[in-house]
Amino acid sequence: MITNLVIFAFITGLFSGGVIVGAMTWAKDLGLNMKWWKWLLSAIWYLLLLLLVFAAFTFMGEGEPAAGWKTMGLAVVLMVFLGTGLYRILMAGRE
């Protein structure tokens, strides 16, 4: 059965391809010295972002909007904190 979550996951998967291509172009344009472990950290950050967004909307869809909004709030704080750290790591190796 195709539900709204399945459609959302499909669209997210399509956009993830664009995110990958965009990340490679962005890194090249900024002159970043991207090693394999920096790509791995970036991929982990992106997958954690997707996981938290999917979890929040799943809670909301299951009839627990308070838990969904709390998860979304936690996700924003956590991802800004981790994203700032990742940004500093990536910019440290800039040519």
Give the 3-state secondary structure of residue 75.
helix
Per-residue pLDDT tens digits of the chain, which is 95 residues long: 777 778 888 898 899 999 999 999 998 998 888 899 999 999 999 999 999 988 998 898 889 999 999 999 999 999 999 999 999 998 886 76
User: Whole-prediction pTM value?
Assistant: 0.83
What residue numbers bound the domain in which 84 lies?
A: 4-92
Domain count, the chain: 1
Residue with tokens 């090693």: 35
Contacts of residue 93, Cβ cutoff 8 Å, sequence gap at least 6: 32, 33, 34, 35, 38
